[in-house]
Amino acid sequence: MIIAANLKTNLTRKQTRLYVNELETYIKQNNIKQDILVFPATSSLDIHSGKVVLGAQNAYPTQNGAFTGEIGLDQLEEFLIKTVLIGHSERRHVLGESQDELVKKFNYYKDLGFKIIYCVGEPLEKREAGKEEMMKYIASQYEGIDTSYENLIIAYEPVWAIGTGLTPTLEDIELIHTDLKEKSHAPLLYGGSVKVTNAKEVLELKNVDGILVGSAALYSEHFCTMIQFAQDISQ
Q: What residues make contact with ligand PGA under the rule CB under 6 A?
A: 6, 157, 162-163, 191-194, 212-216
Annotated active-site residue 77? The verdict is no
Q: Which is nearer to ligand PGA, 162 or 227 (CB)?
A: 162
> Is residue 176 within 8 Å of residue 168, measured between CB atoms?
yes
Which residues lie below 8 Å from residue 102, measured CB to CB, with a gap of 6+? 86, 87, 91, 92, 118
Residue nearest ligand PGA by beta-carbon distance: 214
State the angle between helix axes of 220-234 and 13-29 in degrees (0 to 180), rounded to the nearest 10: 30
Which is nearer to ligand PGA, 88 or 105 (by Cβ)?
88
Nearer to ligand PGA, 61 or 214 (CB): 214
For residue 212, give the amino acid letter.
L
Shortest distance in whole angstroms from residue 165 CB to ligand PGA: 8
Smallest distance, Å, CB 214 to ligand PGA?
2
Nearest to 142 by CA among 119, 112, 123: 119
Q: Which is nearer to ligand PGA, 37 or 73 (CB)?
A: 37
Instruction: Please confirm, yes or no, whether 93 is among the known catalytic residues.
Output: no
* DSSP conformation class of 204: T
Catalytic option among 88, 90, 97, 222? 88
Q: How far is the CB of 59 from ligand PGA (least distance, A)?
A: 17
**Catalytic residue selected from 90, 122, 157, 174:** 157
Q: Residue 71 carries which DSSP code? A: -
Q: What is the 3-state secondary structure (H, E, C) of 172-197?
A: HHHHHHHHHHHHCCCCEEEECCCCHH
CB of 164 to ligand PGA, least distance (A): 7
Pairing relation of β-strands 188-191 and 210-213?
parallel
What is the set of active-site residues?
Answer: 88, 157
